Amino acid sequence: MDILVLIFGEGKDLTFWQMGCRGIVVFFIAFLLIRISGRRSFGIKTPLDNIIIITLGAVLSRAIVGASAFIPVVFTCLLIVLLHRLLAWLKVHNTKASKVMDGEKILLYMNGAFLQKNLDMALVCIEDVLQGVRECALTDDLSKIEIVYMERNGQISVIKKQPLWYARQLFVKSISKQRG
């Protein structure tokens, strides 16, 4: 037991060496917790996913600096990860729960016009939308854009207008399937 206190310290009065050792252990614990939580925790970035990122960081830091007892911190983080996993499962299997936790996409631009009411609801200005168009569609020519959404995770997505030849091609395919 004395060797553990020597390596990891006790309480808030830690040496740089003890805090470093705690940091290494917490790193591997965090890695294990993220594996338990699942890939979506750091991939999709919905409000639910952001909560786990912030909360785990805040709680695990207490173990590194000795502000809280180590085992209760790790146990709390495990509970947070399991709760995240449960809520993510619920979102996948229940459309209403998904809408409550993440909301719905918001239409920002359609048919050559910005929808001011929706821009206000999304808390974005036209320049924010134009930035998203430049990033997603690699253009600032709105005549090439059909629809712009703010997605549930806050990102802006763009649907470009289809060229006339492509629309004709789709029309011909649909006619041939109907005859076919």
The model's pTM is 0.69
- Can you tell me the distance from the alpha carbon of 145 to that of 111, in angstroms, rounded to the nearest whole number? 8
**Secondary structure string (H, E, C) spanning 89-128:** HHHHHCHHHHHHHHCCCEEEEECCEECHHHHHHHCCCHHH
- pLDDT at residue 168 tops 80: no
Average pLDDT over the chain, rounded to whole?
86
- CA-closest candidate to residue 85, choices 28, 32, 41, 26: 41
Task: Provide the phi-psi class of 141: left if phi over 0, else alpha when psi is between -120 and 50, else beta.
Answer: beta
Write out the two tokens for 2.
């004395």
Could you tell me where in the chain the CATH 3.30.240.20 domains are found? 104-162
pLDDT value of residue 93: 95
The sign of the dihedral angle between the CA atoms of 42, 45, 46, 49 is positive
Percentage of the chain exceeding pLDDT 70: 92
| pLDDT tens figures, 19-49 | 898 999 999 998 888 888 776 666 667 777 7
Domain range 104-162, CATH class: alpha beta
pLDDT band at 180 (very low <50, low <70, confident <90, very high): low
pLDDT value of residue 178: 73
pLDDT value of residue 7: 82
pLDDT value of residue 5: 73
Mean pLDDT of 136-148: 91
pLDDT band at 122 (very low <50, low <70, confident <90, very high): very high
The sign of the dihedral angle between the CA atoms of 162, 164, 165, 168 is positive
User: Out of 48-62, 64-78, 127-141, 162-176, which region has the weakest mean confidence (pLDDT)?
Assistant: 162-176
Which one has a higher pLDDT value, 109 or 53? Answer: 109
Distances (CA, A) of 84 to 78, 93, 166: 10, 14, 43
pLDDT value of residue 49: 79
Those residues with Cβ within 8 angstroms of residue 72's Cβ, 6 or more apart along the chain or in another chain: none
Q: Reduce the DSSP state of residue 13 to 3 states and report it.
A: coil
